[in-house]
Structure 1
Amino acid sequence: MTKHGTLGVAVIGTGRMGADHVRRITEVTSGARVAAVVDIDAERAKQLAGRIDGCTAYSDTAAAMADPDVDAVLIASPGPAHEAALLQAFAHDLPVLCEKPLTPDAASALRVLEAEQRLGHRRVSVGFMRRYDAEYLKLKELLDSGRFGRTLMLHCKHRNVATPPGFTNQMMINDSVVHEIDTTRWLLDQEITAVTVLRPTPSAAAPDALSDPQLVLFETSGGSVVDVEIFVNCGFGYQVQCEAVGESGSARIGDGHAMVTHSGGRWGGEIDQDFVTRFEEAYDREVQRWVDATRRGETEGPSAWDGYAAAAVCEAGVRAQATGERTPTGLVERPAFYR
């Protein structure tokens, strides 16, 4: 439960995502306020805090978490800093919304799992925002209903206009395909057991040393197969699409309008470019749900286990990318704590 009527949130990291979350909590979210901001760039944190009543700027994460006005933590710093911030939050028993990745690798993610289990209760929600997108929620509801029978395949597309300088092949998995990893696990309620990566001749628009596009294949514990086209320099727009193929029908989202269904010889649907704008409502919904749950004294949403599973599959994906071979994911057994 909160110490105050309004949830006081410390936002760790004030780069693009952190600053956007500060804006969201201040202007969109109800029941919360930004009580502290933290950044290694002390001047940037100070300037941001100066625009928010009652907000204190810090350059030290531990000091921010010890602030008596802080009830919860939103981590939006670079991935390598997440483990230390999470462990500090556990030391104060503070609820956390952690932007993906939970941590950059499976070993550190396992350490976070162990630390959270020692607390005896969940404190971490991981920011896989597609689970809060209206279209994905509608697709999840359809698949869970069993209307089209067992889901046999998912066909996914993930396209970006262009990549920033320094974007690597490994980042195609760790920064981009990671979203399809989580949505696959969530939509199907299955674990990913193996990954294969196919690399066609690169596009002429691909930067030197970047193999773009790629086709990533997942095998799942329930016998489904998932293909992901990842094309991060397509040049024409930001597109995220997913088609689920069931035993007696299919459903597709991401066409720029509502879900389209195909079943019984009929098709139908309703007509209704950057990831921040495409998923803006999902981010809004995610943060509001986290705030509401935290104020109730609860933790919901993607767990630290989901963060670990994504990290483990990413590691297998990077190995498959390098070798061209089918690569088992090797997840540890899921602890009863996360079931």
Structure 2
Amino acid sequence: MSELRIGIIGVGAMGADHAERIVRRTSGARLVAVSDPDAARAEELASRLSARVVADPLALIGARDVDAVILASPGFAHAEQLFACLEHGKPVLCEKPLTMDAASSLQVVEAEHKLGRQLIQVGFMRRFDPEYTALKQLLDSGELGRPLLLHNVHRNKANGPGFRSEMIVRDSMVHEVDVARWLLGSEISRITVHAPKPTSAVPDGVLDPQFAVFEMANGAMADVEVFVNFQVGYEVRCEAVAERGSATIGLGAGVLTRAAGHWGGAMPEDFRIRFDRAYDIEVQRWVEAVGRDEIDGPSAWDGYAAAAVCEAGLASLSTGQPVTVDLADRQAVLG
């Protein structure tokens, strides 16, 4: 296949960003179709990028001129769309979450396994960020000894009025769930989510910020502060502490200025700026992997494991108590 023909379902902020990426910065790929409930938005994007609009997302998945699919639709639509991709044998890059709950995510994992080939890659893009990649390589090298602790900070400038407490776990903290599993090479066995008195920037009833502790099956631990109405900018930091040293990423790689009695740099407005390079690498490698009939990144199992941890995290958020993660036996599921 000389050129991978891609359809994108969901062309809000993330899907539109991917559409531009496919057209302007990804080799070996061509955008052929988009689908979105907002017909005007889909038509505008399709017209600008020389693609066509398919009103029904399932029809897009089944289209003969669509070789692979990017799902940037809302999480509640993912299960049906993923099963359709599996039915049609279409490789799919699915933005998180895999699905909205652990049970349906496990069903997706099982359905893919029955096909005998991996078609689903989950969009945990931090695994492709050069800083995170360097940290992973350092930890895996053994130079610092066995990793013991992982400290994470995840702050957004602001979120819309409809952003609820549970979304902080499912839509934001989920990235640190995957990062902890990946960097520490272990599943999360127990999670505790705490919430201090909320910031005055959120409506009554919204718990923001939140602080979580992950207990890993291999004995390591991780923590994360998630603050989605930080008011300042977008900030993601990670420090790994090992037996013989520590390493930190996310301190900012921009220009540090000193002027007018002040010193400092700039903070990005949102995740698309901070992780722009990671998204470029992720999509390019996905396109190349599809050409080899492979995936090259987080699997459906990774999406399921993250869903199971977030489900336990929501239970902990409601009680403030540790909750054991109910994770299926991987060997039993995947053989």
The normalised TM-score by structure 1 is 0.92
Partner SS, residue 317 of structure 1: helix
Matched, 1:229 2:225: yes
Tell me how far 1:223 sits from its aligned partner.
0.3
Seen in structure 2, the aligned counterparts of structure 1 residues 335 and 44 have a Cα distance that, compared at 3 Å, is farther
Q: CA deviation at 1:213?
A: 1.8
Cα drift, residue 236 of structure 1: 1.4
Partner of 2:6: 9
State the match for 1:261 in structure 2.
Answer: none
Secondary structure of 1:283's partner? Answer: helix
The answer to whether the aligner puts 1:19 opposite 2:16 as a matched pair is: yes
Tell me, yes or no, if the aligned pair for 1:13 and 1:77 is still in contact at 8 Å.
yes
- Per the alignment, residue 165 of structure 2 pairs with 169
Displacement, 1:205? 2.9
Q: By how many angstroms is 1:98 displaced?
A: 0.4
User: Which of 142, 152, 157 is 2:148 aligned to?
Assistant: 152
Query: 1:18-57 counterparts in 2 under 5 A?
Result: 18-53=15-50, 55-57=51-53
CA drift at 1:172: 1.0
1:169-208 alignment to 2 at 5 Å?
169-208=165-204
Q: Is the 8 A contact 1:41 1:59 kept in 2?
A: no
1:75 and 2:71 matched: yes
C-alpha distance in 2, partners of 1:231/1:193?
24
Segments ≥4 residues shifted beyond 6 Å: none
Unaligned runs of 5+ in 1: 259-272
**Which deviates further from its counterpart, 231-240 or 100-109?**
231-240
Distance 1:43 1:166, change over 3 A: closer
1:214-265 CA-to-partner distances (Å, cap 9, x unmatched) read: 210000001011111111222112110010000010000110039xxxxxxx
Do the aligned partners of 1:303 and 1:338 also contact (CA within 8 Å) in 2?
no
Supply the distance in 2 between the matched residues of 1:81 and 1:201 (Cα, whole angstroms).
Answer: 33
**Structure-2 separation of matches of 1:215 and 1:118:** 38
The code of the aligned residue for 2:10 comes to: G
Cα distance in 2 for partners of 1:338, 1:150 equals 28
Q: SS at 1:87's partner residue?
A: helix
Residue matched to 2:101: 105
Residue 298 of structure 1 deviates from its aligned partner by 1.7
Choose from 276, 280, 288 the match for 1:280: 276
Residues 1:215 and 2:227 are matched in the alignment = no
TM-score by length of 2: 0.93
Hey, what does 2:260 align to over in structure 1?
Answer: none
| Partner Cα separation in structure 2 for residue 200 and residue 67 of structure 1 | 49
What is aligned with 2:235? 239
The yes-or-no answer on 1:135 pairing with 2:131 is yes
> CA–CA distance in 1 between the matches of 2:295 and 2:210?
36
Q: Which amino acid is 1:97 matched to?
A: L
How big is the alpha-carbon RMSD for the aligned residues of Structure 1 and Structure 2?
1.4
What is the identity, as a one-letter code, of the residue corresponding to 1:11? I
**Post-superposition offset of 1:201:** 2.0
Q: CA deviation at 1:338?
A: 5.2
Measure the CA separation in 2 of the matches of 1:113 and 1:73: 17
Paired residues of 2:110 and 2:333 also in contact (CA < 8 A): no
Q: Could you say what secondary structure the match of 1:34 adopts?
A: strand
How far residue 47 of structure 1 moved from its aligned partner, in angstroms, is 2.5
Distance (whole Å) between structure 2 residues aligned to residue 337 and residue 301 of structure 1:
19
Stretch moving more, 311-320 or 329-338:
329-338
Q: CA deviation at 1:61?
A: 1.8
CA 1:246–1:82 in 2, change beyond 3 Å: closer, same or farther? Answer: same
SS in 2 for 1:156: strand
State the identity as a percent.
54
Measure, in 2, the Cα distance between the counterparts of 1:235 and 1:43. Answer: 32
Alpha-carbon contact 1:305-1:338 (below 8 Å) kept: no
Structure 1: which amino acid aligns with 2:26?
Answer: T
Distance 1:149 1:174, change over 3 A: same
Structure 2 segments unaligned to the other structure (5+ residues): 255-267
Pairwise CA distance, 1:337: 6.9
Q: How many Å separate the matches in 2 of 1:154 and 1:336?
A: 29
